Structure 1
C-alpha cells in the first residue's frame, strides 16, 4: 500500500468530517432541546461532513492512491450532500423559530433536487465513457467540459447561497410577525442564529467566488487561498453551530401565527372605524402600555375586541404594527415625564416609568418617533426654558 501523506490543506477538511459525524451522533442521542430541531441540525452537519469528505478524497492524491484506488463511483455519488445540507438548514431554522413546525407535503419541494440527484448521475455517466469516468477523478478539466457536471456545480452554489439567504428571510419574517403580537421582543435571542447562518453563508459565498474566479481563469493561488480559507471557516462554524445551538436549546421562542395559518383563517369581519378610537382611549385612560410585556392578546381581552380586528385596525389606521403602536405611546409618556420633571430624572428611571425594559429599544423608539435622542430632547427643553 502506498504511503499516506496528508497536506496542511487536508487537516481542516478531516477535522470537519470527524466533528460533523461526532456532533451528529451527539445531537441524535442527547436528550437536549427540541428533538426535531436536533434531527435537522444533525442531518445538516452530516451532509456538511460528507461534502467535506467529497472535497478531501478528490483533492488529496495520497488518499486516492492509498485507499480509493479503483473506487470510481464514490467520487460522483457523494456529491448528493449539497442537496441534503441546504434544505436541512432551512428546516432547522424553521423548527427553531416555530415550536409547532411539522413537515408537510408542501415542503417536499425542498427535497426535489435531492430526489432528482440520480438523474444527474445517469446523465453524467451517459455523457462520459468508462475510461473518462476514471480520468475525471484526477483530471478535473475533463469534468468541467461536461454540461451536466457544470449544471451540478452551478446548482450547488445556488442552493447553498440561496438557502442561506432564505434562512435570513425566515428570521426577518419571524421578527415582523412578533411585532404584530408583542410590545417587547428583546428577550428573544435571535442574534446567535443570525450570526451562525451568516457564517455559513459567508463560507458559501466565498467558495462561490472561488468558482467564478476559476471560470474567469484567474490566478490559481487566489482560488487555492479562497478554497483553503473556506475549509478553515467551515471547521470554525461547525463547532460554533453546535456549541451555540446547545447553549440556546432551552430558549423559548414565542409562537406566532404563521403565514400558512393565516391563509387558512376566515376572512376578517367588516371593518369598524371606531376600533382605533376605542384603543386610543384605552391607552390614554388605563395606560396599558406601561406593562413592559404587554401583548396583543391582552389588549384584545381588555378591549373585548377580537385580535384580528385590533391587528387590522392598527395596521390600517395607524400604519403601524402592534410593537410600534405600543412603543409610540411609551415614547409619548417618556417625553411627558422628561418635560414634567425638567430633565432631573435619570434616563433609566424615565425608561422604566414609560414601560420600556430595554435601553436599546427605548433609544431606538424615541429617535424613530421624535426624530431625536432622549438627551437631545432634554437639551431642547432646557434651551426653551
Structure 2
C-alpha cells in the first residue's frame, strides 16, 4: 500500500495548489470558488487515505471511514459547481440541502463513529471485517450519479441558451464539464466493478488512484476555461399572435433588414456577435429577430451566423487571387474555433476546406 500512499500524497499536493489557484482566479469566480472548496475536500480525503494505507490500524480508522462518506458530497458538489458556473451566482444557504445525502450516511454510520478507541483496537486485534451494506452502496451510487446527470442536464440547457444568444457559443461550450463528468462516471464504473466482481487489479486504492488522475485533468482544464457570460436577460414578451405560433406581420421587413445587415455590413464577421447586438442594429425587438431566425432561416442564432460565415469563406476560397491561409480566412470571417469551422464547412459542402480550394483551383475558380 506504500505505492498508493505516495500517489495519494501527490494528488493531495496537487489539490492544495489547485484549490488556491482556483480560489484566487477572477474568471468565473462563483463557480471556481465552489470548485476550489470541492477540490480541497478531495485533497483532505486523499491525505487521510495516504495515512491509513501507509500503516493500517486503529489510529486513523475513524477518519478513514469518515472520509469514505465524502463520495456522498462529490456528486452534489459537481452539481452546485455547474449551477454557480452557469448561473453566475455564489452559494446560498439553500444549497445546504445538497448535503442531505452525506448527513444521512453519517447518521447511518454513527454507531461506528461513537465507538471508543479501545473498541476499535479490539476490532483490529480480532481481525473483524466491516459488514457489507448492499442497500447503502446502491443508494450511494444512485444518489451521486443522479447529481452528475442533473448537472449535465443543466449544462445542456445553458448551451441551448448560448446557441440562441451568441455567435461564439462554441468557444463557451463548457467542454471541460463534459470531461469532468465523464471522468467521474469512469471512476464510478471502476467502483461498480470492484463492488460486483472484485479482481486483483481493480480494487479500492485504484478508485482513488483514478481520482488523483482526475485531479490533474481538472487542473489543466479548469485553469484554461474561458470566462462565461452571465445568464441572458429574457427579452420582452412577444405579441399575442406570436405566442399562438403565428408569424408577426413584420416578419418580411425583419428578414429583409437582417439580409441587408449580413450582405452590406457583414456583421457576421464580428466574432462575439450576440442576438441582442444584432437586434439593436436592426431596429427591431430581440424576440422578433429571434423568431425570424428560427422560423424563416430554420435554425438558432449560432447556426444562422455560421451559415453566413461559411458562405463568406467559400467565396474567398473560390477566389484564386486570395492567397491567405484557410485559417486566416476563417478567422477573418468571424470564426473563433478551427474545429468548429472545419466541421461546419464539411457539413455544408461535403468536403474539407482544403479539398474545396484545391478543386476550385483545378477548375479555374468559380
Asked if TM exceeds 0.5, the reply is yes
Q: Which aligned pairs between 1:265-344 and structure 2 lie closer than 5 A?
A: 267-269=237-239, 270-271=241-242, 272=248, 273-274=251-252, 275-341=254-320
Task: Kindly indicate whether the alpha-carbon contact (under 8 Å) linking 1:164 and 1:198 is maintained by their aligned counterparts in 2.
Answer: no
Post-superposition Cα deviations, 1:254-312, rounded to whole Å, max 9, x if no partner, equal 2233xxx76xx775323324333442343234322232332211111011222222223
Deviation at 1:322, TM superposition (A): 0.8
Deviation at 1:46, TM superposition (A): 4.1
Deviation at 1:329, TM superposition (A): 1.3
Moved more, 339-348 or 35-44: 339-348
Deviation at 1:93, TM superposition (A): 2.9
Query: Structure 1 residue aligned with 2:57, among 64, 71, 77?
Result: 64
Q: Distance in 2 between matches of 1:348 and 1:78?
A: 50
Q: Distance in 2 between matches of 1:211 and 1:118?
A: 21
* Aligned residue in 1 for 2:347: 368
1:37 corresponds to 2:31: yes
* Aligned residue in 1 for 2:245: none
SS in 2 for 1:45: helix
Post-superposition Cα deviations, 1:110-131, rounded to whole Å, max 9, x if no partner, equal 3332343355346999xxxxx9
Q: Distance in 2 between matches of 1:54 and 1:78?
A: 7
SS in 2 for 1:286: coil
Post-superposition Cα deviations, 1:234-264, rounded to whole Å, max 9, x if no partner, equal 223334534654x447x4222233xxx76xx
Deviation at 1:327, TM superposition (A): 1.1
TM-score in terms of structure 1 length: 0.72
SS in 1 for 2:3: coil
Deviation at 1:363, TM superposition (A): 2.1
Query: Structure 2 residue aligned with 1:231, among 201, 205, 208?
Result: 208
Post-superposition Cα deviations, 1:178-232, rounded to whole Å, max 9, x if no partner, equal 2212212455484445444443443232222222223xxxxx31333xx343332
* Aligned residue in 1 for 2:81: 92
Query: Structure 2 residue aligned with 1:378, among 357, 360, 366?
Result: 357
Q: Which aligned pairs between 1:71-110 and structure 2 lie closer than 5 A?
A: 77-98=66-87, 100-103=88-91, 110=98
TM-score in terms of structure 2 length: 0.75
Q: Distance in 2 between matches of 1:241 and 1:348?
A: 29
Query: Structure 2 residue aligned with 1:205, among 185, 189, 198?
Result: 189
Q: Distance in 1 between matches of 2:312 and 2:11?
A: 53
* Aligned residue in 2 for 1:222: 201
Q: Which aligned pairs between 1:244-263 and structure 2 lie closer than 5 A?
A: 245=222, 247-248=223-224, 251-257=226-232
Change (3 A) 1:338 1:255: same
Change (3 A) 1:155 1:46: farther
> Which runs of 5 or more residues in structure 2 are unaligned?
114-118, 243-247
Post-superposition Cα deviations, 1:103-148, rounded to whole Å, max 9, x if no partner, equal 46775653332343355346999xxxxx99x7599544x522xxxx
Task: Kindly indicate whether the alpha-carbon contact (under 8 Å) linking 1:48 and 1:82 is maintained by their aligned counterparts in 2.
Answer: no
Query: Structure 1 residue aligned with 2:165, among 165, 168, 181?
Result: 181
* Aligned residue in 2 for 1:8: 3
> Which runs of 5 or more residues in structure 1 are unaligned?
1-5, 126-130, 215-219
* Aligned residue in 2 for 1:143: 131
Change (3 A) 1:121 1:254: same
Task: Kindly indicate whether the alpha-carbon contact (under 8 Å) linking 1:51 and 1:82 is maintained by their aligned counterparts in 2.
Answer: no
Aligned residues: CA RMSD: 4.0
Q: Distance in 1 between matches of 2:64 and 2:327?
A: 62
Change (3 A) 1:336 1:122: same
